[in-house]
Amino acid sequence: MSETVYGPVTDWATDFDHGSPAYAANQHKIWDDLKNSGCPIAHTERYGGTWLPLTHEMVHSIAYDTDHFSSEGPVVGQLKPSEVPDRIGAPIGPVPPISSDPPFHNEARRLLLPAFSPKMIDPWRDEVIEICNKLIDDMGDADHIDAALQYSQHIPVMVIARMLGLPVEDGDRFRGWVNLVLSGIGEERTEERMQKFMEFNEYLAYHVNDHKENPREDLISFLLNAEIFGEKLSLEHAVGTVILLLIAGIDTTWSGIGSSLWHLATNSVDRRRLVENPDMIPTAVEEFLRAYAPVTMARVVKEDMEFHGVQMKKEDWVLLPFPAANRDDKQFANAHEVVIDREENRHAAFGLGIHRCLGSNLARLEMNVAVEVFLQRFPDFSVDANEMVTWSTGQVRGPRTLPFVVNARA
């Protein structure tokens, strides 16, 4: 067992906890303070030993270096990958291809790329527009709304459920499992958590069997028939990929939409510019992706090694904080300012290298449509000063409640 360290953080350079509410609330300041104090890579004994590199250069080089850093643990947990019972190890990992390493990774990813290519995703636009408008219709004429609970959290769930072939009305259950996997990383492996994991597995087993008996035109049926290296995917591989597509597609995009709306609720000049010039929205969305990138990934050190002057040990976790890379002033002019018409924007919100987010085209479509429709229907809105905006904890960051006052509707 890894030694698990609980309790509040005493020093962010040597004892950080990226799963703590304090990190979620103050991460931009924490990164700046660390870098300004001459610590571009922080360490903690928590989670059995974890590194946090903060510069674009370091994040870029780790993402590219699949020889020394494995993807078999994309989410840091209390157990190291090798300690998890019955786990599928490298190069496949439990949720391929995000948990896979080359050369297996290339084949597992190639299978999925066509379904998420721009030309397959663009035709979903009308459906996403309809989903967004329906969610706003359902708010009635209330002046006080929650743009996370009533809007952003529903959009990706509805789309990915349809793509996979799972019941759209099970959205609440999917979100419960997403929280279990991604937000509860600092929690102990209690019986209640284990029970929820079991329910998730049983739910997937039921629907996978149903697809076996009644094949249809969706991604689950596609995966059940797909081949790799001339053979059908193993059931573990197919189910692992379903889990990945369900989990990875939901709270990431929900966070991206939520952070964009939060920015517009708190920056009236930017909001007015986009209301008056909706053709600026795609460029603004790229800037929201840069400034509020939701996702931090993780790698596992393959063998003891030196990296930028620190000694990494075999099986140490290494976080890839793409949001910190996106705020590196060596890479971006005015990195700490949100510039909604930023022309040069090589942000890494969807990762770098061979694990570039498979769903990035879908996420961009959903973010663009969600912002466009929200501004069309609510040209003026602000944060409700009497309520709290709350942010998620863990490797995916975004607002989980967004209490807004609607000041004008169209």
Residues contributing to the site for other proteins (CB under 8 A):
110, 113-114, 116-119, 282, 286, 343-348, 350, 352-354, 356, 360-361, 364
Is residue 46 packed enough to be buried (19+ CB in 10 Å), middle (13-18) or exposed (0-12)?
buried
Instruction: For residue 159, give Cα distances in angstroms to 129, 134, 154.
Output: 11, 14, 9
Which of 131, 47, 103, 85 lies closest to 316, judged by CA?
47
Q: How far is the CB of 97 from other proteins (least distance, A)?
A: 13
Closer residue to other proteins (CB): 54 or 348: 348
Of 271 and 364, which has the nearer Cβ to other proteins?
A: 364
Of the pair 102, 167, the CB lying nearest other proteins is at 102
Shortest Cβ 113–other proteins spacing (Å) = 4
Least Å distance, CB 117 to other proteins, is 4
Question: Judged by CB, which is closer to other proteins: 142, or 333?
Answer: 333
Report CA torsion sign: 118, 253, 280, 320: negative
Rounded Cα distance between 305 and 193, Å, is: 35
In DSSP terms, 162 is beta-bridged to: none
Residue 161 or 325: the one with the smaller Cβ distance to other proteins is 325
- Run of H or E residues at 320: strand 317-321
Nearest CB to other proteins, comparing residues 23 and 332:
332
Minimum distance of other proteins from residue 351's CB (angstroms): 8
Query: How long a stretch of residues is the chain?
Result: 410
- The least CB distance from residue 14 to other proteins, in Å, is 31
- State both tokens at 359: 């769903």
Q: How far is the CB of 270 from other proteins (least distance, A)?
A: 20
User: Nearer Cβ to other proteins, position 319 or 348?
Assistant: 348
Number of other CB atoms surrounding residue 1 within 10 Å: 8
- Type and span of the H or E element at 126: helix 125-137
8 A C-beta contact, residue 284 and residue 374: no
Nearest one of 368, 317, 307 to 61, comparing CA atoms:
307
- Cis upstream peptide for 215 (omega within 30°): no
Q: How far is the CB of 354 from other proteins (least distance, A)?
A: 7
Tell me the C-alpha distance between 358 and 361, whole Å: 8
Least separation in angstroms between CB 410 and other proteins? 27
The angle formed by the CA atoms of residues 137, 138 and 140, to the nearest 5 degrees, is: 75
C-beta of 117 vs 225, nearer to other proteins: 117
